[in-house]
Structure 1
Amino acid sequence: MLGRVANTIYWMNRYLERAENYARFMDVNFNLSLELSPNEEQQWKPLVVITGDWPLYESLHEKAEKNKVINFMAFESENPNSICNCIINARENARAIRPEITKEVWEQINALYYLVKKASEKKRLNDSEVRHFFSDIKNGCQLLYGIYDATISRNEGWNFAKLGQLIERADKTSRVLDVKYHLLLGSAKQVGSSLDLIQWTALLKSVSAYDMYRKKYGKLSSTSIAEFLILDTDFPRSILNCLIRAEQSIVRLCGSSFGYCNNAQRQLGALKAQLEFTDINDIIAKGLHEYLDDIQGKLNDISTAIYEAFFSIEPHVN
């Protein structure tokens, strides 16, 4: 497969996963804001911080207000990571590799495109329309994942698609957990309070982990939630599970599971092994924020290594 085509497939799936994650975060936060005191900055600023786009937001707006954050993360044309721009980019990538995907996949990506286009054309959505929009994005992306699974051959393109989706998913799970730990908890006195439990519940729901977490652990606790979202091997949105499945795809692309054939495979395997052989108490003792920050940095390094190993065109040297 041409590196250009592989890169397009990889990023098409990263953009789709990013759009769905943003819809998840905002939908849960929107519902949470209806139950808590109206401190807009405390409730909405963390969502922008999750994306790493806070400097851009500050350049456009003075305060983190509900409607401004929703518009920034969903429709802002100047925000390259907004849901609207992610879906537009995913569609452009899909158009570029149209022969590599099925008619059903193309039609569903088009449906998502017209969904965001219609919503963005409205100057302002009311609360009911906002909730429907987030729900439609989540459902539309999940439908697309199902269509992709059911209609695409398990070839090189499939593995590049899964690699992009899983790297993006691992990154977003680490970010939402990191933001809760640092920004949503006002003080040590709130640990174990009803507000703290509401926030942890919202965090689990934002990654669709609430039901599976309660089934495994029962009682809510910050340590168990961190363990579930970082180290669980069975839950599909945990960081470790994403890395396990991403490694399976890169092994198929490299053709060997013994050792490594490039730096991307080496770095991905090393990060997966790091999580496999660690304990949540060791992570907490070292500092959860520092550990998650390290994971995010390594995921960025892996993404760069994937580009260099599979997508870049090196100049010919005589």
Structure 2
Amino acid sequence: MLSRVADSLYWMSRYMERTDGILRTLKINYASSQDDIQEFSWKPVLQIFTFLNEEEANALAHDSRGVLEYMVVGKDNPNSVLNIVTQARENGRSVQDHITKEMWQCLNDFYHAVRDERLAEQLQKDDPITLLDNLLRFGLLYCGTTDVTMARGEGNSFINIGKYLERAIQSADILDVKFSDVYYDVNREADTTYWKYFLMSISGYELYLKTYRGGFEAKNVVEQVVLNDKFPRSLVYSINRVHRYFERIKSERNASDFNQIDFMIGKFKSKVQFSTSNSIVQEGLHNFLNESKTGLYDIGTALGKSYFGYS
């Protein structure tokens, strides 16, 4: 497979996964803002998903509708849903021969939905939850369509590597920002609704209730989001899937590059798998998450140099 094609498939998938994460976070945080109108702040969301400086983030922090418009259809925001879906579609368009017609249709439909000129006005006047749900369905349709129509070859492997690498970075980033609010102290008391909404934003609320019976505890939240291999958005689940799909692109032509990156993924995977919630707390949660994000970015950089022709 040409490096240009692999690059486009990889980034198409990363952009679509990022879009899903942003929309889920916006939906749950908007619901949370309606429960706590006085004290709710959008600053953590802006810190995770935008490049705004402190002053710009503070100006938007208490304007729910303004944040939604900026994050969904903001043309000046490079990480808005509009711009990310546009990037995903451009990558998909450049490799139409390597994806299915159904996948292209999903990308195209999503693109036209977020470019609808009425969307900005609807975000200001209508129910945002309904609008965000509708946009989420486009992403879910894309994921399902990719899974049932894409041939299980190199292209599918690069798509899944991008998807799960992006998901791992998001989970580490969101967990890092959420725990910064309680100063990374897992024993610090936090409102039950705080952890509830956080878990809902990453679709982990129901699994948490089934796994832990003693209410919401910060240490259990860390354990689920980092170490639970049954949780599809956990760090360990995501890196296991990155490793699985990376092993499928091994060939004699790229043995040295493959071995180097395989070692990096294996090293990161072992660090996470052989951690416990207690060892993570002892090491320092912020330090652990920072090192995790650095490791994931390093894997992405190595993929770029070895497989996509980046200098």
TM-score (norm 1): 0.89
User: Does the 8 Å contact 1:263/1:309 carry over to 2?
Assistant: no
User: Does the 8 Å contact 2:65/2:123 carry over to 1?
Assistant: no
| Cα distance, 1:123 vs structure 2 | 4.1
| Cα distance, 1:176 vs structure 2 | 1.2
> How many residues are treated as equivalent by the alignment?
307
Question: Is 1:167 aligned to 2:165, yes or no?
Answer: yes
**Structural mapping, 1:102-113, within 5 Å:** 102-113=100-111
**Structure 2 match to 1:244:** 240
| Cα distance, 1:191 vs structure 2 | 3.8
| Cα distance, 1:261 vs structure 2 | 2.8
**Structure 1 match to 2:16:** 16
**Structure 2 match to 1:199:** 194
Question: Is 1:269 aligned to 2:266, yes or no?
Answer: yes
| Cα distance, 1:71 vs structure 2 | 2.2
User: Does the 8 Å contact 2:228/2:234 carry over to 1?
Assistant: yes
Q: Secondary structure at the match of 1:118?
A: coil
**Structure 2 match to 1:234:** 230
**Structure 1 match to 2:220:** 224
CA-based RMSD of the aligned residues comes to 2.4
Given residue 308 of structure 2, which amino acid in structure 1 is its aligned partner?
Answer: F
Q: Secondary structure at the match of 2:230?
A: coil
Whole-Å Cα distance in 2 between the matches of residues 129 and 35 of structure 1? 15
**Structural mapping, 1:67-216, within 5 Å:** 67-118=65-116, 122-123=120-121, 125-126=123-124, 128-183=126-181, 185=182, 191-193=188-190, 196-216=191-211
Q: Secondary structure at the match of 1:153?
A: coil
Q: Secondary structure at the match of 1:237?
A: coil
Seen in structure 2, the aligned counterparts of structure 1 residues 312 and 262 have a Cα distance that, compared at 3 Å, is farther
Whole-Å Cα distance in 2 between the matches of residues 122 and 80 of structure 1? 17
Identity over aligned residues, as a percent? Answer: 30
Whole-Å Cα distance in 2 between the matches of residues 58 and 299 of structure 1? 29
Seen in structure 2, the aligned counterparts of structure 1 residues 292 and 39 have a Cα distance that, compared at 3 Å, is same
Provide structure 2 residue ranges, at least 5 long, that are not aligned to the other structure: none
User: Does the 8 Å contact 2:33/2:64 carry over to 1?
Assistant: no
User: Does the 8 Å contact 1:28/1:206 carry over to 2?
Assistant: yes
User: Does the 8 Å contact 1:13/1:164 carry over to 2?
Assistant: yes
Bigger drift between 102-111 and 262-271 goes to 262-271
Seen in structure 2, the aligned counterparts of structure 1 residues 120 and 275 have a Cα distance that, compared at 3 Å, is farther
